[in-house]
Amino acid sequence: MGKGTNRVSICAFCSRMKRGVLYRVAREHEYNVLAMAHHLDDCAESFLMSALHNGSLRTMKAHYTTDDSDLRVIRPLSYVREAEAEAFAEQSSLPVVPENCPACFEQPKERYRIKCLLATQEALFPNLFQVLQRTLLPLMEPNVEDFLRLRREAFGKMGGNPHVPPPLPRPSEGQEEAAARAQATHGLYDARALWIASLALSRQRLLGGGRGCSALADDAEGAMQREEALLAA
């Protein structure tokens, strides 16, 4: 798997194995384009994992050509949020294949921890993924200027506006009340009240993410209850 401290995680090893199988099947059927379903959340998580654990600024590319130059790999959902893809699948009654890797459920893996970290930060900074998308763009696109030009043209043909972001999630009434109570008491938004709000939103987003995320959601709920008790004291 690896040497010394640079061991390859089982998830990374499995990912390479699956990608190799997909390449082989595509070539057997003489396909020249392979579409992968990774979304923006996947790309952001991969970026943080690479930066924090490998010391490099990398993530999954939106499109690339394999070393043999016979297969083009595209990720058309690279700039779509996970929640948006889930909502579309549900509205369209598309079949969803649940996570079924036994290794992923032995304990929460690093990707789940990064997902929890991002959910917590997004609760505090709702524009987080819009900022991350701009940060990741040079890593995901070989020619940023061409990408931005094509994006503007596509939005123009669809009658959309590339400068108007999608609606952001709003905090619940309970979260707003906690922050308002802290503001009235201390004259500013208390860090603990904001932390409680972020834990609540993190838990909400993690509940639908499989067994690994459910375990993290339970941890978030426990932490939220402890912080609420301290705030009430």
What are the tens digits of pLDDT across the range 177-208? 555 554 555 444 445 555 555 556 556 655 65
Gap between the Cα atoms of 18 and 26, Å rounded: 12
Residue 187: per-residue pLDDT? 43
- Give the tokens for residue 224: 């939220």
Residue % of the chain over a pLDDT of 70? 52
Residue 95: per-residue pLDDT? 84
CB distance 70 to 32 below 8 Å: yes
Vertex 83, ends 114 and 151: CA angle to 5°? 100
Vertex 112, ends 33 and 193: CA angle to 5°? 130
Domains and CATH numbers, the chain: 10-155 (3.40.50.620)
Residue 119: per-residue pLDDT? 84
Residue 134: per-residue pLDDT? 85
Gap between the Cα atoms of 141 and 216, Å rounded: 33
Dump pLDDT digits (tens) for 135-160: 888 888 777 666 666 666 766 666 65
pLDDT at 167 over 60: no
Lowest mean pLDDT among 44-53, 59-68, 144-153, 211-220: 211-220
- Give the tokens for residue 38: 């990774």
pLDDT at 114 over 90: no
pLDDT band at 38 (very low <50, low <70, confident <90, very high): very high
- Give the tokens for residue 81: 């949020």
pLDDT at 91 over 80: yes
pLDDT band at 165 (very low <50, low <70, confident <90, very high): very low
pLDDT at 117 over 50: yes
